[in-house]
Amino acid sequence: METTRQSKINRLLQKELSDIFLQQARAMQGILITVSTVRVSPDLGIAKVYLSVFPSAKGPELIKAIQANVKQIRFDLGKRVRHQLRVIPELSFYIDDSLDYIENIDNLLKK
């Protein structure tokens, strides 16, 4: 069960991370990155960030690049939320493939 504090922090981190990725994605033409969900652990020490990437074929290489720069992303996030949070959670990034799954089901139903 998610507490009210966790859900508020989830929304805050989602908003700030989406702003960070928006600034970074401007340099990469033709790639759209969306922060679909953020889930913070009960002790607020770990945040699982689910990213939706378009085109989805570039997802795995983009996640590798993000994992390589996770310290810089966490630092940028810390500068943005330093007045709201005491401890900036460790970030782990995952691909959100729910849109691909939905598209696959739609294609199967059309047949």
Q: What is the pLDDT of residues 65-105, one digit of tens each?
A: 889 999 999 999 999 999 998 999 999 999 987 777 787 88
Q: What is the spatial distance between Cα 66 and Cα 92, in angstroms, rounded to a whole number?
A: 10
Q: What is the average pLDDT score of the chain? A: 89
Q: Which residues of 7-39 are buried (b: 16+ CB within 10 A; e: fewer)?
A: eebbebbbebbbebbeebbeeeeeeebbbeebb
Handedness of CA 42, 87, 83, 92 (dihedral sign): negative
Residues 70 and 75: their CA atoms lie apart, in Å, by: 9
Under DSSP, the state recorded for 57 is G
pLDDT of 33 reads 87
Give the pLDDT of residue 45.
92
Average pLDDT over residues 28-47: 89
Q: What is the pLDDT of residues 48-60, one digit of tens each?
A: 999 988 887 888 8
**How far apart (Å, rounded) are the C-alpha atoms in residues 36 and 52?**
6
- Percentage of the residues of the chain whose pLDDT score is greater than 70: 100
Domain count, the chain: 1
Domain, as residue range, for 86: 4-110
* CATH number, domain with residue 39: 3.30.300.20
pLDDT range class, residue 2, cuts 50, 70, 90: confident
